Amino acid sequence: MPKKSISPKARVSNSKNKSIHRVRKRISLRDRLGQLTIRAACRLLGASGDQRLRQASRFEIDLDEDVRLVGDTLTCRVPDRSVAGGRAIVSIVEMVNKPNGMHFHCIG
């Protein structure tokens, strides 16, 4: 049995039927935090987020000594007299499987 040839028109598919997959460029944690607004920060901190932000303004944080950004992790040491060593450690880690792509953790 002879092979059937496929006409050039049959090979062309309708572009309307193709699904388009767009690849989102992954932005760094630094850029993600840099784009964070006060309102968005309050939402990330939960129901009392605005109150927590106001309370945080009382802390003296030395950017050179207390803040580190290494890879996908931001770590900040916050003065806290109730913790051994006098400082609590707050970490923000980039995690794509978490809401907003970030995970927050506090030790102290």
Cβ–Cβ < 8 Å for 88, 107? yes
Convert the pLDDT of each residue in 39-78 to its tens digit: 988 888 888 989 988 888 888 899 999 999 998 999 999 9
Convert the pLDDT of each residue in 67-99 to its tens digit: 999 989 999 999 888 888 888 999 999 887 876
The structure tokens listed for 26 are 């992954």
User: Which run of H or E residues covers position 51?
Assistant: helix 49-56
The model carries a pTM of 0.64
